[in-house]
Amino acid sequence: METLGPSYNAVVTVTRERAMEQARKAEDEVLSGTYRGPLHGIPYGAKDLLATSGGIPTTWGAAPFRDQTFDFDATVIRKLESAGAVLASKLAMIELAGGGGYRQPNASFTGPPRNPWNIGYWTGGSSSGSGAAVSAGLVPFAIGSETWGSILSPANNCGVAGLRPTYGRVSRHGAMALSWTLDKLGPLCLTADDCGLVLEAIAGPDPKDPSTTQRPFKYNPEPDRKDFKLALIKDGAEGLDEEVLANFEDSLRVLKRVATIEEVELPDLPYGAVTRTILNAESANAFEGLIESGRMSELTASEDHYGLYARTAVLARDYLKALRLRGVIAEKADEVMSQYDAVTAPARRSSASPIDQEFRRVTPGTMRDVMGALGNGAGLPSIAIPNGFTEIGLPTGIQFMGRAYEENSVLSVACAYQSMTDWHKHHPPDLLRAE
């Protein structure tokens, strides 16, 4: 992390002292016969929006908070410590998890996050360092967060697995709030199977986060099934990058060995408008203090200097209408999704964009992300895993989105896909040459 991390602008703080302490403890425990499970002694990185005690900064990726510290650990950090995992680093992220409305990769005070597959390209965001660090082999797994796209995007761009759990599956206590009713925490790993193991360690009810579900989660995949039922959203391929579409079609051919695939039509509802309005209203309120302080001008991306001001103009009537429509969407979507193990689609509509360009200009269909709007608005789980490469060697991904609390279903499909393919076994060529 100290050697390669700066090449990718992936690491904010190497938590050396805490890591060594936790590693020694894990070693002692294992040697004395106390085994805490599959994460015992395994190092990991945490997106730098998760509170950590002991004087370790928690910067939210933003210059105004670069010296911020907390005197407690986020619940996720605490749960991973109980599982024996070793906190090795706080990982870079887009400032305020993209709350300022950024349009370019250069939106972190630690520099633009660079993609291990080609440092001239972006990692995706906002869990940028989490994607890069796993892809580059700096840590075996990382924790990211998603409000709308922030786990799936870096998983896609960096060629790793990223799991967005059901809203409320993982406690948000101690995580920076961007949007209280949309924020989710989840793992980024090399495989879907690893995502399941990490999710089991971090899931569970937490009195400090009233939105957490009482439903237990036990990772229990069924990758050997040959009777998966998958759905494709009608017209979902419109506007896709050609290479993304080609790789997706190849993936469908592979999946047909173990699944039936049907096209479904979603009810005609304003998915994007609902999720966007909730995000706009809640983020403007979550960062009210920053807005009023005038310190947004200290943020890195110039568009983040003013992005939140417009969001203060969301009217209460529209926010409430979005919350009412969200219930309708959740109900209607569940009626469709209950018939399938997962809905599948490309993880993103394109591969990584160049590091020096506004991604909203070069990424087709960025504003028409129905899977993202529906999945995040209704709080549904989804996993993105690699499914090929573009001509210039950038990864592309496929996603599987399930019903609420059906992480095991989407993980099972993803594990089955990875048992039939080897895209997840490819690693950035520069790293292999370095060996």
Among the residue ranges 30-38, 92-100, 232-240, 300-308, the one whose residues contact another protein (CB under 8 A): 300-308
Residue whose CB is less far from another protein, 26 or 274: 274
CA–CA distance, 402 with 411 (Å, rounded to integer): 9
CA–CA distance, 67 with 219 (Å, rounded to integer): 37
Distances from the Cα of 377 to the Cαs of 13, 207, 245, in angstroms? 32, 23, 25
Tokens representing 370 are 């129905």
Residue 45 in contact with another protein, rule: CB under 8 A: no
CA–CA distance, 348 with 392 (Å, rounded to integer): 17
Among 312, 368, 430, 431, binds another protein (CB under 8 A): 312
Q: What is the CA radius of gyration of the chain?
A: 20
Residue 212 in contact with another protein, rule: CB under 8 A: no
> What kind and span of H or E run contains 154?
helix 152-158
Residue 326 in contact with another protein, rule: CB under 8 A: yes
The packing angle between helices 192-202 and 407-420, to 10°, is 150
Q: How far is the CB of 176 from another protein (least distance, A)?
A: 20
Among 21, 209, 318, 358, binds another protein (CB under 8 A): 318
Residue 315 in contact with another protein, rule: CB under 8 A: yes
Tokens representing 154 are 């870096």
Among 260, 297, 338, 339, binds another protein (CB under 8 A): 297
Report, as residue numbers or ranges, the catalytic residues: 47, 126, 150
Among 94, 258, 259, 314, binds another protein (CB under 8 A): 314
Residue whose CB is less far from another protein, 52 or 376: 376
Among 6, 210, 216, 429, binds another protein (CB under 8 A): 210
Q: By rule CB under 8 A, what string of x and - marks binding of each residue 240-269 to another protein? A: -----------------------------x
User: What is the distance between the terminal CA atoms of the chain, rounded to a whole angstrom?
Assistant: 15
Among 177, 254, 323, 336, binds another protein (CB under 8 A): 323
Q: List Cβ neighbours of 158 (8 Å cut-off, separation of 6 or more).
A: 115, 116, 117, 123, 124, 131, 132, 134, 135, 352, 395
Residue 309 in contact with another protein, rule: CB under 8 A: yes
Please tell me what DSSP assigns to residue 39: T
Q: What is the DSSP track for 73-139?
A: --HHHHHHHHTT-EEEEEEP--GGGGTT---SS--STT-PPEETTEEEEE--SSSHHHHHHHHTTS-
Q: CA torsion, points 91, 13, 191, 86, in degrees to nearest 10?
A: -140
CA–CA distance, 263 with 147 (Å, rounded to integer): 27
Residue 101 in contact with another protein, rule: CB under 8 A: yes
Tokens representing 171 are 């406690």
Among 325, 371, 398, 404, binds another protein (CB under 8 A): 325
Residue 178 in contact with another protein, rule: CB under 8 A: no
Among the residue ranges 36-44, 256-264, 322-330, 391-399, the one whose residues contact another protein (CB under 8 A): 322-330
Among 47, 164, 169, 311, binds another protein (CB under 8 A): 311
Q: What is the largest CA-CA distance in the chain?
A: 61
Of 10, 13, 127, 143, the closest CA to residue 85 belongs to: 143
Among 305, 360, 426, 427, binds another protein (CB under 8 A): 305
Residue whose CB is less far from another protein, 379 or 386: 379
Residue 321 in contact with another protein, rule: CB under 8 A: yes
Among 186, 307, 372, 381, binds another protein (CB under 8 A): 307
The site for another protein, by CB under 8 A, has a size of 36
Residue 215 in contact with another protein, rule: CB under 8 A: no
CA–CA distance, 124 with 134 (Å, rounded to integer): 13
Q: By rule CB under 8 A, what string of x and - marks binding of each residue 327-346 to another protein? A: xx-x----------------
Q: Which residues bind another protein (CB under 8 A)?
A: 101, 181, 210, 269-270, 272-274, 276-277, 280, 291, 294, 297, 303, 305-307, 309-315, 318, 320-328, 330
